[in-house]
Structure 1
Amino acid sequence: MNFDLTDDQRKRYDEVFDGVRESLGAPSGPGAGAGGFTRDRWKEAARLGLVGLCIPGEYGGGGLGALDTALSLEAFGRGCPDTGLVFAVSAHLLACAVPIRDFAGEQVRADLLGGLASGELIAANAMTEDEAGSDVGTLATVAVRDGDDYVLDGEKSFASNAPVADVLVTYATTDPKAGYLGLTAFAGRTGRPGVTVGEPFDKMGLHGCQAGRVTFTGYRIPSSHLLGAEGTGAAVFQHSMGWERACLFAGYLGLMDRQLDACVEHARQRRQFGRHLGGFQAVSHRIAAMKQRLEAARLLLYRACWLLDQQRDHTLAVALAKVAASEAAVANSLDAVQIFGGSGFRTETGIEQHLRDSIPSTIFSGTSEVQRELVARELGL
């Protein structure tokens, strides 16, 4: 059992971290990460190769596996104070490019993957509906076959990247009587008749990733744009979620690394009652607990990605990693605010932004409750 990264992995991590820190902002600072999405910052992430990490090289991507993709996203999250941008890139890549890569026909792959890898195209995953969040087997959006096309009608309630997206990966019911076996996945373009994207939501955090509603009204998608076969949408979605749950949360590992560095530095410099904060056990033990959560999450996440790369059963490992990383991010962010005290509550330090960016991590990509249910099922309960 070898816990070392290879020389190539270390080099890639360092190159991504240095490039991100130089071009997308210092790791900390006043109001870090509080801004919104900009095309210029997206293009910069694309220049660094981040929007195409696991897209095959023949389409201009990095051709990386799950673990190497996660390591690059971890370096991205550590070097970039805009966790919303890290999330936006990860959603584009893992929830959209991955199912197109693995399930689209060659014509669609050729049409879309090059633009997704270069950053010319931005992708959004439109799955969630008002009455179908965790319960994705009850989609109200329907797709009806009409000749060589499918006609979609319905509304998606929360699609990350949608307000700026050029490509939509979406899911609809093609056989209402078949339950989750009646779902079908599609890849379509925005800016065509029948698709309307709403205004960006006002959100607690992740401001660098715009999200909004998507409404389909007689939206026609050629049958050639199916991802997989009709009725296999649930399998396509679970495949993409395996990649997302395993790799996306590496960005939060990076955030926690950056956060921990800030807390250690603050505890060394800040003095109260004639002593440095780090000299108080209440503070030093809190920081030790932050490190413990981070490293435990890191090991679980790396193992989940390794299993994914080995094409071995990864359901249990991915669920454990997702819970560990997301809940560690929230707990560590709460601790960071406490360690910084009043200054941690103020937006200018960027510390409270960590918490607001971390809170949704236990909700998206399957809630903590859903992940624990998956764990229980894998254990035979």
Structure 2
Amino acid sequence: MTDRNLTEKVKVELADRSYDILIGEHVLLGAGKHIKSVLPDAKCAIVTDENVAAIHLEALLENLKAEGIEAAPIILPAGEATKSYAHLQTVIEAIIEMRLERGDAVIAFGGGVIGDLAGFAAASVRRGMNFIQIPTSLLAQVDSSVGGKTGINSPQGKNLVGAFYQPRLVLADTTVLDTLSEREFRAGFAEVIKYGLINDAGFYNWLEQNWDGIKKGGKERIHAVATSCRAKAAIVARDERESGERALLNLGHTFGHALEGITKYQSDVLVHGEGVAIGMVLAHAFSARMNQSSPDDTQRVKTYLEKVGLPTDMSGLRNHVKSANQIMDFIAQDKKVSRGNLNFILTHGIGQAYIAKNVPAAEVHAFLTEALES
């Protein structure tokens, strides 16, 4: 456990592409120094959104200027809809117009949407520029900023266009999370819970006991973020391009992404972490239906997610989700589908997720039909 105001460092081990994740209170105040230590002469484009820019951009620009780093912002609308071809083109053309070179850097300063979009732009301009992540949401700090997945959505589904492209540095300031709305913080916490449910029952037990402390900040929050990052870093180091074990990180995401697609990524209806929360309950319930886990585990997960304030079923989406067929259409586009066969992340219990291959579509359809009727 970390004492207040200390910084934890997590290393993502990828040979000559390894990088550090710095996690702690007020890490943002040292952003210029940290960036300069990795990229001494780089100029930077800062990709951010209107919400983050209004609160934090001036401080970041001043910090970079104090270290002699030239930087200019590219400010986009907030929300999942920004992960689009149109906004990707906007960012790419702005970077080129800045006359930034391959050795310069693109800084993603925002949540998961900004990180994914900016990273894809960095991977594309001049066939690859330096990329730095400064995640400002809990979801981005524990998940999307780590591991090099970048991309945008298409009308057919979420994250279907993109690239694996690792950052040079990740700076996760846990005090920045105090400016998030309660809904955004809770939604991000779904991804923290996910790490316990995948393969760390001890961490899940700790989370059940420390939700109030994590909300308040300080050492509990730093510990939750750092533990999540270590879990993801370890999996990424073993399976960078999701050819095997890394797929476990998608626990709850197959169902969750489908629900996001059906609701057309409208954040007022459903945000990513809420979709993941519903998806994790569905994954445990489907596992129990397939006699792979106990219904008691499903209830335990459901109870904790409800305590956190997250949705656990599809009842709030009835105006959008009309049938199992709707969900199945999106599931068929999921990245884990292989030669038309459905692959899911299921579980044998708390902390015992596994990759289930060739899951019968008829079983999934019947399960979803019952879930929608309940």
Under a length normalisation based on structure 1, what TM-score does the superposition of the two structures give?
Answer: 0.28
Asked which structure has the greater RCO (Cα within 8 Å, sep 6+), the reply is 1
Bigger Rg over Cα:
1
**TM-score, normalised on structure 2?**
0.29
